[in-house]
Structures are given as structure tokens and as C-alpha cells.
Amino acid sequence: MRTTDKIRQQLEENPVVLYMKGTLGEPRCGFSAKAAAALQSTGVEFAYVDVLAAPAFMQALPEVSEFPTFPQLFIKDEIIGGSDIIEAMLASGELLPMLKDATA
């Protein structure tokens, strides 16, 4: 199975996925730390993938998402964006309803 197919499978199996550098407990970049913290603050469950531990994913994901940087948040198989977008959507009140709808 190609890496892009594995990514698409993850997106189909998980309604909310954060592709980040590091783990939730130990983010390895400031942007990933901000994105993970914003998502965790909602209390909604989400999956995550450490792209530093899976370099093939880090290389292939921009092909799937057409989004060049990390972290990358997907909700219902659709790219939402990176940490700035996640934080802005959280502040505006847009993010939580999307997350709840996706995981309902």
C-alpha cells in the first residue's frame, strides 16, 4: 500500500486527525504544540500522527492535502489548516461545533 493510500485510510477511519511534529505529550515544534493544545482544550477526542516518527507521511501528506506545512488538521477527511487557523477557529467559536459534528 502506498503512503498516500495509508494517509487516506487514516482520514477515512478517524473523523478528526492532527498530523503534527512530536506527540501530544511531547510536541517537537511550537506550532504543533499550539495546535495540539487548542484541540485538547475542546475536550473532543482526536487522532494524531507524529510525522517525525513517520517520515514517509511527512513527505507524502502535502500531496494529499495540498497544504505545505505542519501541523495539519483534518476534519471529516477535509484539510482545515495549521496552528494559526486552528487557534483562530477556536477563538471565533467555529472549531468546537465542527469537531462535535464530526465525532457525533
Residue 55 falls in which region: left (phi positive, over 0), alpha (psi -120 to 50) or beta: alpha
What distance in Å separates the CA atoms of residue 1 and residue 70, rounded to the nearest whole number? Answer: 23
Look at residue 76 and give its three-state secondary structure: coil
Contacts 24+ apart (CB under 8 A), 89-94: 90/38, 90/41, 90/42
Label residue 89 exposed, middle or buried (CB < 10 Å: 0-12, 13-18, 19+).
buried
Task: Flag whether 29 is marked binding.
Answer: yes
Binding residues for [2Fe-2S] cluster, by number, are 29
Binding residues, by number, are 29
